[in-house]
Amino acid sequence: MKIKLTVLLGVALLFISARTSHAQFYREGSQFVGVAVGLNFTDNDVPIGVNYENAIKREFGIGGIFRYWSRTTAHFSDGGTYVWNTELIGVQGNYHFKVPQREIDPFIGVVLGYGFNQGSAHNTLYETYYSESAPTSVLFAIQAGARYFISDNIALVGKLAFGNDSYNVLEIGGDFSL
């Protein structure tokens, strides 16, 4: 919960610090690292994570992503709980469209990665606890989004991704150029 609050606070500070843009826009050789928080449409989870992208050409960028999300549900009739955690690590490739506004960077791309799932349950009636790991799953997703540069080194990011393995998310975040 503290991590989610920290990410949300960081994104809020990005919005507050918005000024007139003199952005360096997306160009060959640019590198970005960022944070994201989202809403997973499949399970109503809130994934948080980090991402990286390197512009290998003006139109193409490659990089990596890491996402984490967790949910707790009342699973047993006596009020016991079930907790499911998912970690996603993957690579992304994006095509960046050329637009007249230098501060806007729309893109479309793909994500290929692995999802690591782990669940645990605690039954309060019998005082039992168990943990299980689900098989690692291969993730493939299609994503579309845009960066909006609010300064030379900071961009707000919005992204929509649809894929398998319950990865259907709407994300917002911030990217920082290196």
CATH number given to 2-20+27-177: 2.40.160.20
Count of CB atoms situated within 10 Å of the CB of 137? 16
- Res. 22 pLDDT band, cuts 50 70 90: very low
Name residue 140's beta-bridge partners: 112
For residue 125, the model assigns a pLDDT of 61
CA distance 161 to 171: 8
Q: Stretch 83-97: mean pLDDT, rounded?
A: 92
- pLDDT per residue as tens digits for the range 47-64: 999 999 999 988 999 999
CA distance 97 to 174: 19
For residue 23, the model assigns a pLDDT of 43
pLDDT at residue 110 greater than cutoff 90: yes
